[in-house]
């Protein structure tokens, strides 16, 4: 009892220092107001634009670039709370005013960046790397953003906020991440899913974590409208990526990539995009590193879209003169089946400021690229297939050169998408002609039959 009171007193103490004056929400369109990170606010009250978490540069410049590098390097291998997390290992750049005891973390991040030697050789870009963000707690990069958002909510609740639950609309991975982090913190979560449009693994994750899972007869964009309505009264906190806290966690991916290359910047980073939070986040991390002198040039960012859900590609084609919104069609890459991307304005900046490109891939192309990569030892999710198909196109077009250092961000774990894999190898996906199907062969338990089969296979 007394220790609980003591720790509460401790939190209150820190709460008084919480309104960190150098990190705050501000409007991306330039309205001048600043808002506390711990306010329930998602868009600019003056103009309705998205907010972003702004970090004033001056206080951060008190450490030199070399000192930042040494600090982040030193935390990357620790288990000390909360620095064992790839996100909280950069806490000064994320949410500096978050108290240790309010960090909700399962030590996400620090995912492997590996050399795709055989695939790169086959594609003609030997310096090809995969950033495997799917090797994470709930199997996608969404964990990086949710650790930040749920931590902020925990701190808000500790300070007596009226928030009593968190909610999101999701194409699958967002809800899995939110449900897991909310359960870890003991905060109720409400999940809105488009009925019948997410994989079994994606559906069962929030169910298992005890979230309130509501499957609605609509698509993602329809769920998004409902969740915005439900979260209006401020007792339920909105966890979609229009909430820019998630971007703060996700921006660590780019910083982590550079750290893993001993602070060298790759030439290209290709990422599959839907709501465009992830590419906005990548850019934000690189911009911060530039401003603080840790790097001296930007990578070129490539946004990869499924042609069935390609509003950002269409906007890119019209030179971003007008935002294109569409009704997204069925795609195997269901996590990026989004027709009206929320972080559109932020993503335009990410493309414009990095000499970036938006490209698309068909169902056949994404499935073939995923299957090809799997034959070199990977187990790629369909979204990673989209990115790999776009990589192939840009190589063929001569845009990505054989000497370029290229990173493909693999956004989810392939094991969340076994329906896609099974369908591909059984040649039952109706939108795809399986080029490399490899179904298991059924044989009698007879050594001669087995030897004959092996011989036949190894001699081709």
Q: How far is the CB of 274 from ligand PLP (least distance, A)?
A: 4
Contact in structure between 450 and 444 (CB atoms under 8 Å): no
In the bound state with ligand PLP, the residue whose beta carbon lies nearer, of 120 and 139, is 139
In the bound state with ligand PLP, the residue whose beta carbon lies nearer, of 18 and 224, is 224
In the bound state with ligand PLP, the residue whose beta carbon lies nearer, of 177 and 182, is 177
In the bound state with ligand PLP, the residue whose beta carbon lies nearer, of 206 and 272, is 272
The DSSP-derived string for 339-385 is SS-TTHHHHHHHHHHTT-EEEEE-HHHHHHHHHHHHTTT--B-HHHH
Sequence length of the chain is 460
Using CB under 6 A as the binding rule, the residues of this chain from 331 to 370 that contact ligand PLP are 335-336
Among 37, 273, 282, 367, binds ligand PLP (CB under 6 A): 273
Interface with ligand PLP (CB under 6 A), residue total 17
Residue 126 within binding range of ligand PLP, rule CB under 6 A: no
Q: Helix axis angle, 418-425 relative to 363-374, nearest 10°?
A: 90
The CA distances from residue 49 to 44, 52, 348, 390, 449, in Å, are 5, 10, 14, 31, 67
Q: How far is the CB of 201 from ligand PLP (least distance, A)?
A: 12
Place of tokens 């007596």: 160
Among 82, 206, 249, 272, binds ligand PLP (CB under 6 A): 272
Among 95, 201, 412, 432, binds ligand PLP (CB under 6 A): 412
Residue 276 within binding range of ligand PLP, rule CB under 6 A: yes
Cβ-based burial of 6 (10 A; exposed 0-12, middle 13-18, buried ≥19) = exposed
Q: How far is the CB of 142 from ligand PLP (least distance, A)?
A: 6
Stretch that binds ligand PLP, among 108-116, 120-128, 211-219, 267-275 (CB under 6 A): 267-275
What whole-number distance in Å separates Cα of residue 88 and Cα of residue 104? 10
* Paired tokens of 89: 């290992």
Contact in structure between 160 and 18 (CB atoms under 8 Å): no
User: Which residues on adjacent β-strands are paired with residue 132?
Assistant: 410
List the one residue out of 269, 253, 279, 250 whose CA is nearest residue 345.
279
* Paired tokens of 187: 């905060």
In the bound state with ligand PLP, the residue whose beta carbon lies nearer, of 25 and 220, is 220
Q: How far is the CB of 246 from ligand PLP (least distance, A)?
A: 8
81: left (phi over 0), alpha (psi -120 to 50) or beta: beta
Q: How far is the CB of 59 from ligand PLP (least distance, A)?
A: 29
Place of tokens 């790169």: 120
Strand, coil or helix: 259: helix
Using CB under 6 A as the binding rule, the residues of this chain from 22 to 41 that contact ligand PLP are none
Contact in structure between 311 and 340 (CB atoms under 8 Å): yes
Stretch that binds ligand PLP, among 49-57, 273-281, 353-361, 371-379 (CB under 6 A): 273-281
Draw the binding track, 227-266, toward ligand PLP (x: CB under 6 A; -: no contact).
--------------x-------------------------
Strands (E), 153-278: 165-169, 189-194, 212-216, 236-238, 268-272
Among 23, 275, 354, 360, binds ligand PLP (CB under 6 A): 275
In the bound state with ligand PLP, the residue whose beta carbon lies nearer, of 116 and 336, is 336
What whole-number distance in Å separates Cα of residue 397 and Cα of residue 98? 47
In the bound state with ligand PLP, the residue whose beta carbon lies nearer, of 156 and 189, is 189
Among 142, 154, 300, 372, binds ligand PLP (CB under 6 A): 142
Q: How far is the CB of 341 from ligand PLP (least distance, A)?
A: 7
Instruction: Note the residues at the interface with ligand PLP (CB under 6 A).
Output: 140, 142, 173, 241, 272-278, 335-336, 381, 383, 411-412
């Amino acid at each position: 009892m007394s220790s609980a009171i003591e720790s509460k007193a401790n939190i209150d103490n820190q709460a008084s220092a919480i309104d960190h004056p150098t990190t705050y929400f501000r409007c991306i369109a330039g309205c001048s107001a600043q808002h506390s990170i711990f306010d329930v606010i998602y868009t600019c009250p003056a103009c309705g634009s998205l907010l972003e978490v702004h970090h004033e540069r001056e206080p951060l410049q008190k450490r030199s670039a070399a000192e930042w590098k040494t600090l982040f390097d030193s935390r990357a291998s620790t288990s000390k709370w909360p620095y064992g997390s790839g996100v909280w290992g950069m806490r000064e750049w994320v949410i500096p005013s978050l108290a240790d005891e309010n960090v909700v973390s399962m030590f996400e991040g620090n995912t492997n960046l590996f050399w795709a030697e055989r695939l790169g050789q086959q594609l003609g870009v030997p310096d090809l790397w995969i950033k495997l963000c799917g090797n994470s707690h709930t199997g996608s990069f969404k964990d990086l953003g949710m650790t930040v958002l749920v931590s902020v909510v925990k701190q808000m609740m500790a300070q007596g906020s009226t928030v009593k639950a968190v909610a999101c609309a999701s194409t699958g991975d967002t809800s899995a991440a939110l449900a897991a982090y909310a359960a870890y913190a003991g905060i109720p979560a409400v999940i809105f899913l488009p009925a019948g449009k997410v994989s079994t693994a994606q559906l069962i994750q929030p169910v298992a974590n005890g979230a309130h899972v509501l499957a609605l007869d609509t698509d993602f964009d329809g769920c998004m409208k409902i969740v915005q309505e439900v979260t209006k009264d401020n007792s339920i906190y909105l966890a979609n990526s229009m909430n820019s806290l998630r971007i703060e966690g996700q921006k660590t991916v780019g910083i982590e990539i550079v750290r893993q290359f001993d602070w060298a910047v790759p030439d290209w980073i290709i990422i599959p995009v839907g709501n465009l939070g992830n590419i906005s986040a990548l850019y934000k991390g690189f911009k911060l590193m530039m401003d603080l002198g840790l790097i001296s040039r930007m990578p070129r960012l490539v946004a990869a879209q499924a042609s069935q859900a390609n509003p950002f590609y269409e906007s890119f084609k019209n030179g971003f003169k007008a935002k294109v919104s569409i009704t997204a069609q069925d795609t195997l890459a269901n996590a990026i089946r989004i027709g009206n991307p929320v972080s559109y304005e932020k993503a335009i900046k990410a493309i414009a400021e990095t000499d970036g490109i938006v490209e698309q891939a068909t169902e056949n192309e994404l499935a073939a690229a995923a299957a090809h990569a799997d034959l070199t030892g990977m187990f790629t999710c369909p979204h990673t297939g989209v990115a790999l198909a776009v990589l192939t196109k840009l190589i063929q077009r001569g845009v990505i050169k054989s000497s370029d250092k290229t990173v493909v961000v693999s956004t989810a774990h392939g094991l969340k998408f076994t329906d896609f894999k099974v369908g591909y190898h059984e040649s039952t996906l109706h939108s795809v002609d399986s080029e490399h199907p490899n179904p298991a062969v059924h044989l009698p338990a007879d050594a001669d039959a087995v030897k004959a089969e092996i011989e036949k296979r190894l001699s081709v």
